Chains A and B, each alone.
Chain A
Amino acid sequence: MSYLATKRARDFRRSRWQFIAVFVTIVLGVIMFGASYDSYQNLNVSYNGTYDRLHFADMTVTGADNGFADTATSIPGVEIAEARTQADIPFSVGDTVLLGRIVTMPADGQPQVNQIDVTDGSYLAPDDPTGVLVETHMAEQFKLAVGDTFDIATGAGWTTVTVRGIAVSPEYLWPARSRQDFFSLPGTFGVAFVSADAVAAVAPEATTNQVVMLYDDGVDRQAVDSAVTDAANSANAADIMTQADQPSNAGLNLDLMGFEQMAVAFPILFLLAAGMAAFILLTRIVYTQRSQIGTLRASGMSRGKLAWHYLSYGLILGVAAAVIGTILGIAAGWAITGTYTGELGIPDTIRELRWSTAIVGVLFGIVTGALAALAPALAVFRSSPAEAMRGEVPTTGGRRSLVETVLPTLRRLPVRWLMVLRGVGRNKLRSLSTMLGVVLALTLVLAAWGMIDTVQILLDRQFNQIDLSDSTVLMDRPVDASEVDAVAAVDGVAVAEPVITLPATAKSDGQSYGTQLQAYVSGTQVRGFSTDGGGLPADGVIAGVSLRDEIGVDVGDTVTIEFSTLETSVTAPIRGFIEEPMGTVLYMNRDALISALEAADPSVPGTVLQNPTVTTVAAVFADGVDRSAVMESIHGVDGVISVIDSREIYDLVQQYMGLFYAFVGIMIAFGGAMAFALIFNTISVNVAERSTEYATMRANGLSNRRIAGLITGENVLLVSLGIIPGLIVGYLAAAWMMSTYSSDMMKFNLEMRPSTLVFAAIAMIIVALLSVIPGIRTVRRLNIVEVVRERAM
């Protein structure tokens, strides 16, 4: 080992804790990159692997005219178009009745589009018309196994079917009924794949209503999407859904998007912090070794060799941290991929070793280390031997702090307070880096914490201010006033109202948006609306705010609302938009809807809307009642087949938040570690630089406690100064992150509790207090005798 290498190794050892802090920060940054980028790539490949293998539809058109499959096949870029039937009809599984979904498939073999994985049992068979395949989520919920039976409602009544197999479908990797019902409560939704021939036999009213398409490889998807959309609109399609909009796929993509953003944004925060910490540390080392540098230069060592020597500190640190970070990051990415695909039941888990991840990860670390060391190395390169040989650091010109200039009365403060004030401006770059560290850490923490707050506040709004019902009651008969009254009469039910829910397509100027329309009675107490009057207008429609962009409409415009299940349409003016966390739904006054449908062409009599698949009963319970007892009582009402507990949906969503909480916990820990590393390094350097001052103070009778107070005061002040911009930047970053998650399916406008900002700020102060402990211990251990005899700094 060369002597310079020996010197470097000893320098590393001498400032080991500071180097370790930088090292850990770089490792964390590279881990975050490797884990999030590889998770993103692996999940993407896994999802796409499943999609490709099972020929997941590029486009799904519902409710178009007969023969649209042939039309679609003739569109350039469409490879295959297959017609099938999809219908939402009641299932009865054991004691539970739910609104299920049947999807037809050829009995003699897999369809060409949207194939399924039969994970247990066997595929449909022509000679077994009542044998069905159950989608895996439903099978799990009801513990259905091959050979079990359940009932499907058909026009002829309940038909018993037998489970031939359990299947995974690319359409239901996330079991969402629609973009409006993204979170379906287990037990309230299930999918069964049935033979097309069998459906024709037992439910002739279920017409072929859906065309699913596969595109040719390598086509311009947007162009084909556009051509298919035009053709589907011409064929009066009720709903046109690209692969990107498909609810399950869109939901999974939200996760992917999160990983993609994390893969870029968060590692940059860490590497910036690590770079700053390394820069401070190396600058300090070069500063203290000026006389050594001068001596070596005077002895004939070249500038380049010396500059390279100091640059190598950063490079070695960066390479070591990057290699370890990359290995750990890739391992974490693989683990996350496996956990995710396992949790979500994705059939294909593809984990690839990507050299690009390894190379970029290592480059991240090297560049961070190299850039951090560059400025100190250049300083060495530029220094003259004579200057460096002096080894004396000129006494810096002191000055009063800005705040003293603005408020001269502050000059009357005790001198130790003035020291704290002026300490902040003593080394501006270092102070700025501490503040930047706080800003970066708060950005990381708030971006993560903002997600939790947003989701929790929005869920609270959705389930406590918007959906005011405690339960939704499904009946087996037309729901008229007497049925509603029967539910209302149940002890413990405060309010019961009929609610109409219809699949609907809003159209305007050739653009359409498939959604659902819900109609409530005047002055409804089961649904809250954030309209001016707090309720529904007497006429017209109000819509989720995304409709404005989806079909380019505004308040006052008239939209056409097509009802595929009723085979009619109405027009209505838009009275307003409301912002709701979940879905983009159309709302109308129930009486206005009934009148509009009766006046429509073709007309739909109001009694049709009493169909139990259209009208349900929403109930609000009296305060303080035993919820399960009330629901049990409702179950006993004649005609009631299912009582859905709204709370359960809320609880379900909260349950899904489990992974989120873990994620936020990790982010907060990482943010704290990052802030600690940077503040710790800054303080260490500050203490080292001022050791003579502190030792002199101790020699002059200042107690350790007072000096600790000075150090703590200065750094807490610095951190506090960083907290204000940190909270602002963190809030903006959180708002940006949440906005990228927003779509017509879910609105994620940032909501942040004031307490979150307070807690984040307190957390930073605590980190600052923890960070000063090593510095204070150093001062306690200062050898006054040695230090006071050394030339300052």
Chain B
Amino acid sequence: MTLAVRTTDLTKTYGEGETEVRALDGVNLEIPKGEFVVILGPSGAGKTTLLNQIGALEEPTSGTTDVDGVIVSSLNEKERTEYRLRTVGFVFQFFNLVPTLTARENIGLIAELIDGDAEARTDTVLAQVGLTDRGDHFPGQLSGGEQQRVSIARGLVKNPSLVLCDEPTGSLDIETGIQILELLRTVTAGRDRSVLTVTHNAIIAQMADRVIRVRDGVVVDMQENRSPAEPSELTW
């Protein structure tokens, strides 16, 4: 089994003394390549902190994170930037698109940073997320679901081995949310690409290959789901 992510005694604390908060407390985790993984937990459990550690958005207090053989926790600022550019793609709850750029340009902004034909790569991911006809629209002219699709395309255009999603359906209605989950499932299927999705919506866990439950900064449970549901079967 090839691992996509391995964390060893990963600890992250915020604040000092009496105000210290231990967001992650010695997390040990192994996530195989190519899986759709859902990280579940209540608010404040540390699931987003875990995602941020894997995405090199934050430095750990102690412990290590290994992604595709790269020890993320030992990277300097420049290497972390390069890592985020080459290895991971982010999808956020609030899309965070640049309002002055069209859908195509929002994706192109990142595509241009990668070697190769940025335009072709942009068109490809636009087609993957089903927005070929909406590529020249500005975010303000797109629905929430469409904006999230653009956000996903922006994350995928780098062809990352790992896609990190933080509450990707949190701002969407059920129907649109399911469409987004289907999309995430589709764009990752059969590509040796792993998807880590943080959510507090337990229903989404039904479609995961693996479910990790986090509470008080500790992984309390990790289960493999041998028969994941189709996103279309979900409802909440």
Contacts and interface: CB of A to CB of B under 8 A. Distances in A.
Contacts of B57: 699, 784-785, 788
A699 B101 contact: no
Interface stretch (A267-275, A390-398, A509-517): A390-398
B36 interface: no
Interface stretch (B123-131, B137-145, B201-209, B219-227): B137-145
A419 B52 contact: no
A785 B48 CA distance: 9
A697 B98 CA distance: 9
A606 to B, nearest CB: 83
A414 interface: yes
B58 A692 contact: no
Nearest to B102: A398
Given A699-B84, A700-B155, A785-B52, A415 B112 contact: yes
B86 A701 contact: yes
Nearest to B107: A415
B158 A701 contact: yes
Contacts of A418: 101, 105
Nearest to A398: B138
Given A693-B98, A700-B154, A701-B158, A398 B139 contact: yes
Interface string A415-447: 110110011011000000000000000000000
A570 B84 CA distance: 93
Given A398-B140, A696-B90, A702 B113 contact: yes
Which interface class (under 10, 10 to 19, 20 to 34, 35 or more) fits A? Answer: 35 or more
B90 A700 contact: yes
Contacts of A697: 109
A399 interface: yes
Q: Main secondary structure on chain A at its contact with chain B?
A: helix
B108 interface: yes
A396 B158 contact: no
Nearest to A784: B57
A14 interface: no
B139 A422 contact: no
B223 to A, nearest CB: 27
A426 B93 CA distance: 24
A688 to B, nearest CB: 15
Nearest to B58: A785
B85 A415 contact: no
A789 B93 contact: yes
A692 B96 contact: yes
B82 A415 contact: no
Contacts of B101: 398, 415, 418-419, 422
Interface in B45-102: 48, 52, 55, 57-58, 77-78, 81-82, 84-86, 89-90, 92-102
A696 B94 CA distance: 10
A395 B85 contact: no
B58 A416 contact: no
Given A701-B84, A701-B86, A415 B99 contact: no
A431 to B, nearest CB: 12
A789 B92 contact: yes
Nearest to A701: B85
B25 interface: no
Contacts of A784: 57
B172 interface: no
A648 B225 CA distance: 98
A703 interface: yes
Nearest to B138: A398
Contacts of A627: none
Q: Which of A396, A414, A415, A698 has the most CB of B within 10 A?
A: A415
B3 interface: no
Contacts of B158: 700-701
Nearest to B114: A701
B96 A396 contact: no
Contacts of B90: 696, 699-700, 788
A776 to B, nearest CB: 15
Contacts of A788: 57, 90, 92, 94, 96, 166
Contacts of B97: 395, 693
Find the residue from B97, B99, B102, B112 having the highest chain A CB count within 10 A: B99
A318 B81 CA distance: 44
Contacts of B187: none
A701 B52 CA distance: 14
A701 B81 contact: yes
Nearest to A699: B90
A415 B105 contact: yes
A701 B82 contact: yes
Given A701-B110, A789-B166, A791-B94, A422 B86 contact: no
**Interface core residue of A399, A699, A706, A792 (most chain B CB under 10 Å):** A699
B120 to A, nearest CB: 15
Contacts of B78: 703
A343 interface: no
A693 B96 CA distance: 6
Contacts of B155: 700
Given A419-B100, A701-B85, A792-B96, A395 B139 contact: yes
Contacts of A396: 99, 140
A792 B147 CA distance: 13
Contacts of B140: 394-398
A691 to B, nearest CB: 10
Nearest to B94: A791
Contacts of A217: none
Given A394-B140, A414-B112, A702-B81, 4 more contacts: A398-B140, A416-B112, A419-B100, A792-B95
Interface of A: 394-399, 414-416, 418-419, 422-423, 425-426, 692-693, 695-704, 706, 784-785, 788-792
22 contacts: A394-B140, A398-B98, A398-B99, A398-B138, A398-B140, A399-B100, A415-B101, A415-B108, A415-B112, A419-B98, A419-B109, A426-B99, A696-B92, A701-B81, A701-B82, A701-B110, A702-B85, A704-B77, A789-B92, A789-B166, A792-B95, A792-B96
List of 8 A-B pairs having minimum Cβ-Cβ separation, nearest first: A701-B85, A398-B138, A397-B140, A696-B96, A422-B100, A415-B109, A701-B84, A415-B108
Interface of B: 48, 52, 55, 57-58, 77-78, 81-82, 84-86, 89-90, 92-102, 105, 108-110, 112-113, 138-141, 147, 154-155, 158, 166
